[in-house]
Structure 1
Amino acid sequence: MPTAAPSSKFSVAIAAAALLIGSAAAAQPAAAPDTENGRYALSPAGDGFLRLDTRTGAVSTCTNSGSGWSCYAVPDERAAMDAEIGRLQADNERLKAELAAREPATGKTDEALPKSDSLKKAEPKTAEGERKIEIPLPSDRDMDRVMSFLERAWRRLIEMANRVQRDANGGKI
């Protein structure tokens, strides 16, 4: 058996050491970059992922387009609602302060209101000296309008009955 030259033994040892160091490095998980540090949590969703920023709570949708992965922030309805509530509270406080700054109303406010109601319909007239209620009769024009309406309705009803009868008889009367 031929003996190996000392330089070849040395290169074999260096190669083995390099292989051992390389396999040890591959066995360890890759360290996350300092900027992420486990900051994002990904969940599959549709054709991409939902990305949750664990520091701020912001949610983004990430999809793979032809040019690469891109993430877009999902609108936060809660933030919009909180902003609207804040705006309304500030507006309410402003209006309260404005109302308090006004001068008090002048005049007597404890007076009784009048007994008549302006929205109430007028009662039917009573004949003088009698307790009978007079109800005005419709005019001739009103009666003509009602009769015209009833005649048209009656004609339409008869036409409809004739159509139903024709349809039931197969087009024959």
Structure 2
Amino acid sequence: MSKATSPSKFSTTIMAAALVFSVGGTGAGFAQSMPDTENGRYVLSPVADGVLRLDTRTGAVSICTNGGAGWACYAVPDERAALDAEIGRLQADNERLKAELAAREPVVSGKIEEALPKEILPKSDSLKKPEPKVAEGERKIEIPLPSDRDMDRVFSFLERAWKRLIEMANRVQKDVSGKI
């Protein structure tokens, strides 16, 4: 014979079974891995032809497009890797050149005290501007100021340009007032 179960015990049993089932179902849901976009691994940005995808774990960038067969992602060339490789090559080349220079014997062992004859000295160009000088002990560049002659030339140019502008404005005003 079966025993009769009271309605309160029956509903409690059903509630307990439902609770176990829901916890079990949730546990199974947590056991499955979440899609990578939900936990923040990828950052997607729309572009003209599709989507740009950044992998936040590796830093890899891909362009994803919707072709005839579906979505496909292709890695974007990494310029940083090329730059790092070039920097490494230049550093190695620099070290090699420093070692080669250190291995050479100096050509001039002492300071030359006598001056060069005038025939050998280069002729100076009167229009050539002096090159900026580097202050000793510091890495500051001293830039020479323009001469008075240069300033006079600039001011005369500006004065002529201003007079022409005023004359042109006067002509336009006369033309407009004659037509009205």
Structure 2 length as normaliser, TM-score? 0.42
The structure having more radius of gyration, on CA atoms, is 1
